[in-house]
Structure 1
């Protein structure tokens, strides 16, 4: 499972710093970055929630503390990144999941990501233990196809549609690409291995070099960007789904 995040900071060098650090932190992707809370909220309303919002505190217009209640609607965890230590009490009063003091430390950032990742994995196993299937839009008007999560081997995002390979057949959906991708990225049994591919670990047979071999006989390339998170998942022994 890979966590999705955004970052908010009015200082360009601070945004560049957290972008660089997150790019080398396993198990997390920075979806977008913003210089103010307003633009971040607009993005979240349009493209949907994220797992973590990294937010500075001292900013013009709406600061991080004032924006907390609005931001928490669109994220599971709000982590503050600030140069000031004296806001900690206010931050945790607003339900913050973390408080990282600038200049950011890579080791502490990784520790916090790992901690929140464990929390997310537990909650999602409960959530998706109850949610067995999803409906996807078919290739004709007002048509819908029922797809069971437990039957998906992998999916492939193409130019204008998603190809979903299941143990029974292949389904195509032309609408709702972003939403379906977000749904599967939040599911604990799925992990992204490349720009276009996300697989179910339940149907992963073996890994050799940079290739993932699936139980249906297909082999898929593992992208360099996703290799660390994928290797980490393998080492944790999560293939059983427990």
Structure 2
């Protein structure tokens, strides 16, 4: 008997003869594989978001962007790509999915950091740990993930925006910068983060900001 395995990732072009990629996406039963939508048109980003695609690639697609998109999916959903048990080539023992996924997360979390001064101390904050930044007159509040609390820093939000990598952070309002990797849902003008925190999107830039959240790599 031949066993056909469901693909882990499907690259789906929007513009196809006969049946569009979005029509095919609508017809797919749940649960779906991880879908990466490929198109030359940015306007499909909003519709793609409604179907919870895992990635969005704009043509022409560079090799670097292709690899980054796939890597982000494997890091975020390691349980979907790692075997339950894998042999350890050096010791002959088995490595569990949890240990392998931990290695992935360690690699992701080690990428970049900033130093800030708060309450007379200098704090080293990895980029991955920053959930959001809020402007407060001459100060900013830096909210952090994993119950790490908040730091009050004498800094201008515009300056902080320049210090944070644009590939990971986006300013959604004159008073808020958020970590785009921590976004869970977008509904109307409200962004909900993985931990349940909510931040408002600027009315005047709503569409552009949502497109950036969905497509920026």
TM-score bracket for the superposition, by shorter chain length: 0.3 to 0.5
Provide the TM-score with structure 1 as the length reference: 0.41
TM normalised by structure 2 equals 0.45
Q: Which has the higher contact order (CA 8 A, sep 6+)?
A: 1
| Structure with the bigger percentage of helix | 1
